[in-house]
Amino acid sequence: MSAPGAGPARRILPQLGGIAYGGDYNPEQWTEATWAEDIRLMAEARVNLVTVGVFSWARLQPAPGALTAGWLDRVLDLLAGAGIWVDLATATASPPAWLVAAHPEMLPVTADGTRLGFGSRQHYCPSAPAYRAAAADLAQRMARRYGDHPAVAMWHIGNEYGEQVPACYCEHSAAAFRRWLRARYGELDRLNDAWGGAVWSQDYTSWDQIEPPRAAPTFRNPAHQLDYARFSSDELLACFTAEREVLAAHSPGKPVTTNFTGLFRAVDQFRWTRREGGTGLDVVSVDNYPDPADAEAYLTSAMACDLTRSVGGGRPWLLMEQAPGAVNWRAVNVPKAPGQYRALSLQAVARGADAVLSFQWRAAATGAEKFHSGMVPHAGTDSRVWREVVSLGMELDRLGSVAGHLVPAAAALLLDWENWWALELDSHPTSCLRLTELLSELYRPLLQTGVNADFAHPESDLSGYRLILVPALYLVSDAAADNVRRFVAAGGTALITFFSGIVDPRDRVRLGGYPAPWRDLLGLRVEELVPLRHGAAIRLDGPGAAPPDAAGRLWQDVIDLRGATPLLSYGEGHLDGEAAVTRHEHGAGTAYYLGTLPDRSTLGRLVGQACQRAGIALWTGLPPGVEAVRRGGYLFLISHLDHAVELDLGAKRPDLLSGVRVGPRAQLAPRDVLVLDWAEPGRP
């Protein structure tokens, strides 16, 4: 997963040369006169890659049977003539009205039995045979007609699988779920055992009795819900795989992608990219929409970038969508500030992207997304957005040498979707624990000290990392538990938080004191779980480490020390004086344990200590809100601040963007970016 000693890697689309630039292009919403202007403006902005056809099903196939795609032929010819490459959709993301009218049973059903209607998008049950058949048919027609078109660089299947309909609860889904369960358990007794059928009289005596976990009088069986999350992710994957196989047969050799959405819970991205049985994505891509109104938008965005790189095995990836300005789907849609589109685009490049695309090329005049920004805004080209779009295109041209390089990461956050699903089920000690929040808390100090981090599956090869961070890995398989132990025994450093190692993959508690598989590793035993009320904080004391106002929130483990050294202890309440944060040597490595969630400055210090123990160099003195990211031999310094800052670079270095040498002290204007040739001699 990590890429130590990074060098130039396989470029994702070699024909594109450097960093690709562009966006979703929906010409079917415009007249042919506008197409001509589009092509001219794309050249002006140096656009060389556009995604076409994602929502074009009804215009490509207005009735069952042959494509009526003359318009798309002309669009692709125009693009090819202008040297613009196309990420062509199989167009199956939004089924047309005629298909839904003929097969109303393909519409998805929610857990409370509501059948969702036609009139927005993603209105299909992933298990509905009518949808599967029609999608495969369309994908085949598209592949045959356009597989060899000179404009087509790659294929795009679906759109944000699961984003609108993460799971369906209809009869087709019920039948598919039963098949999935038979394959998983074989015998009904094994299922009853795995689901804890003895509790609340829930044993099944026939497979036909099993339904999706629909709305119920009170808490639904957690193992049933967990299996439904696994099944639902697999069903979406099956839709993708079916189309992928069609493309492999009819348009062999063209890379295939689907656009993921970062830290999105419904889709287990690691399973999608594991390439089991020849399936998977050739290129991983992501849609990234941090909220510009959030002062830490850059942090969520950085995590989405790192996750995308990680699920793709470290290889370069594609920023498929972002907004050049505002979106339309939040309660309040604040546009990006001047410079923010550039800073966040270059953040993606810093973190491994070889393409920077937006949704969408031209802001729509009709439909639900007409107030969503576009690269060509409603105001036209005499606008700030357009000027920023053109200027970024020029700058990306200067970063050609960065393409194909890897992002070395010595640290990894362990992430497992199965754990995410299980962790956030109901009837737990607290409903305030959200994995993405905990991930952000642990990620923030890394970002603030210029430490690159990957996301790694707990069962993956961790030997390339020096530090692993393990936030609330509640569900842990035996293999994952061993993997973490081995990593530390072999000299690695681990930082594990509360509510980790609690259950096995059946959501069955591992008994004998928490976290059962890691008590030896951590040198402790957690006897009792004590969540803190929302907003409550508990004072933390410690030998030197904690400032006077150090505090823990969210959680308080009752820790029984069995060899671990306490670093911080609770400073009040009935656990006054008991260990809250510990460290323990195990084999050649070190394991830290957090029994509470320390405040940000205390947590920053603890993560810093763990980095130092792991031999990871920190960039100290980096102003919060400024990123320092290594990619290949380049260092990206990106300010997300609205005021200027000064940085100490230690020496003068060439900046690829401005073409001048900067340093040893460098001014970063508000939201400014430097891309320094860090391989040059003169490194401090």
Residues with a catalytic annotation lie at: 160, 321
What distance lies between CA 250 and its chain's CA centroid?
30
Q: Which does 302 bind (CB under 5 to 8 A by kind): Zn ion, ligand GAL, none?
A: none
Q: Distances from the Cα of 209 to the Cαs of 203, 204, 421, 591, in angstroms?
A: 10, 7, 24, 46
Instruction: Name which of 171 and 291 has its Cβ closer to ligand GAL.
Output: 291
Residue 513 token pair: 């004191």
Q: Are 212 and 177 in contact (CB under 8 A)?
A: yes
Structure tokens given for 462: 């961790």
In whole angstroms, how close is the CB of 466 to ligand GAL at the nearest point?
A: 36
* Closer CB to ligand GAL, 227 or 321, in the complex: 321
Q: Which does 172 bind (CB under 5 to 8 A by kind): Zn ion, ligand GAL, none?
A: Zn ion
Which amino acid is residue 250, in one-letter code?
H
CA 342 from centre of chain: 20
Q: Which is nearer to Zn ion, 7 or 117 (CB)?
A: 117
359's contact among ligand GAL, Zn ion, none, with CB below 5 to 8 A by partner kind, is ligand GAL
Which CB atom, from 321 or from 557, has the smaller least distance to ligand GAL? 321
- List contacts with Zn ion (CB under 5 A): 125, 168, 170, 172-173
Rounded to an integer, what distance in angstroms lies between the CA atom of residue 606 and that of residue 334? 35
Shortest Å distance, C-beta 125 to Zn ion: 3
DSSP string, 415-478: --HHHHHHHT-SSSS-S---HHHHHHHHHHHHHHTT--EEEE-TTS--TT-SEEEE----B--H
- Closest CB 197 distance from Zn ion, rounded Å: 25
One-letter amino acid at 236 equals L
| Contact of residue 247 among Zn ion, ligand GAL, none (CB under 5-8 Å per partner type) | none
> Least distance from C-beta 360 to ligand GAL, angstroms?
7
User: Pseudo-torsion of CA 87, 393, 7, 682, nearest 10°?
Assistant: -170
Least distance in angstroms from the C-beta of 170 to Zn ion? 3
CA 264, 267, 270: angle at the middle one, nearest 5? 105
Query: Which DSSP state fits 619?
Result: -
Q: Quick check: 421 and 479 in contact, CB under 8 A?
A: no
The 8-class DSSP code of residue 329 comes to S
Q: What is the dihedral of CA 606, 610, 616, 622, to 10 degrees?
A: 0
Residue 285 β-bridge partners: 259, 318
CA dihedral sign of residues 183, 189, 194, 196: positive
**Binding stretches for ligand GAL (CB under 6 A):** 159-160, 163, 287, 289, 321, 323, 327, 359, 369, 372
Residue 110 or 328 with smaller CB distance to ligand GAL: 328
Residue 326 or 407: which CB sits closer to ligand GAL?
326
User: In the bound complex, what is the minimum distance in angstroms from residue 475's beta carbon to Zn ion?
Assistant: 26
Nearest distance from C-beta of residue 263 to Zn ion, angstroms: 25
Q: How far apart are CA 460 and CA 196, in angstroms?
A: 29
- Least Å distance, CB 167 to Zn ion, is 8
Smallest CA-to-CA distance from 155 within 140, 176, 175, 166 is with 140
Distance CA 390, CA 118 (A): 38
Q: Which letter does DSSP use for residue 169 in this model?
A: -
- Given Zn ion, ligand GAL, none, residue 306, with its beta carbon under 5 to 8 Å by kind, binds none
287 binds, among Zn ion, ligand GAL, none (CB under 5 to 8 A by kind): ligand GAL
| Pick 76 or 93: Cβ nearer Zn ion | 93
Task: Residue 203: name its binding partner from Zn ion, ligand GAL, none (Cβ under 5 to 8 Å by kind).
Answer: none
Partner whose binding site includes residue 289, from Zn ion, ligand GAL, none (CB under 5 to 8 Å by kind) = ligand GAL
Distance, in Å, from the CA atom of 323 to the CA atom of 360, rounded to the nearest integer, reads 7
Decide whether 51 or 173 has the Cβ nearer to Zn ion.
173
